[in-house]
Amino acid sequence: MPSTNAVQQQPVILFDGVCNFCNGTVNFLLKQDKKKRFRFAALQSEAGQALLAQYGLSKENLDTFILVDNGKVYRRSTAALRVGSNLPWYWQWTQAFRIVPPFIRDGVYNFIARNRYKWFGKKKTCMLPAPGMQSRYL
């Protein structure tokens, strides 16, 4: 299990490790996160399951994007917007979606989450980190 200090020092993104769309998103974030601010853990991994337990989150509900930052948990569209706010300047336009009420943002998020396997497919096992990226994963 990752230490509490490690989680507090760097925000951690929890994602569905068998989802092709989610893995694509993580690969995108790895490239865009020039300051290497974020670390990653698949929800299905030992580290991911430990963080879910640590924060009292369901270990079975794997259809959400979770950000753990400074001991706080953010989910779905709010997590995505918080991550986006830490990306390079050319992604800051995404912050305009903060004016959309969370129930609408999360409604769109939930629709995509429900259909992600059908639209993008899934793997049988979690992806392995690319060479040189292992330190970014818990």
Q: Count the domains in the chain.
A: 1
| 107-134 pLDDT per residue, tens | 999 999 999 999 999 887 776 666 677 7
Residue 13 lies in a domain: yes
| 30-60 pLDDT per residue, tens | 999 989 999 999 999 999 999 999 998 987 7
pLDDT of residue 68: 96
Range of the domain at 26: 9-122
CATH, residue 42: 3.40.30
Residue 15 pLDDT class (50, 70, 90 cuts) = very high
Q: What gap in Å lies between CA 16 and CA 38, rounded to an integer?
A: 16
Residue 128 lies in a domain: no
Residue 69 lies in a domain: yes
Closest CA to 82 of 66, 71, 106: 66
Residue 131 lies in a domain: no
Average pLDDT across the chain, whole number: 87
Residue 57 lies in a domain: yes
What is the share, in percent, of the chain residues with pLDDT greater than 90?
61
Closest CA to 14 of 75, 93, 88: 75
Residue 133 lies in a domain: no
- pTM: predicted TM-score of the whole model, two decimal places: 0.85
The answer to whether the beta carbons of residues 43 and 14 sit under 8 Å apart is yes
Q: In what order do the strands lie in the sheet with 12-15?
A: 39-42, 12-15, 66-69, 72-75
Half-sphere exposure of 118 (CA within 13 A, CB side): 5
Q: What gap in Å lies between CA 112 and CA 9, rounded to an integer?
A: 31
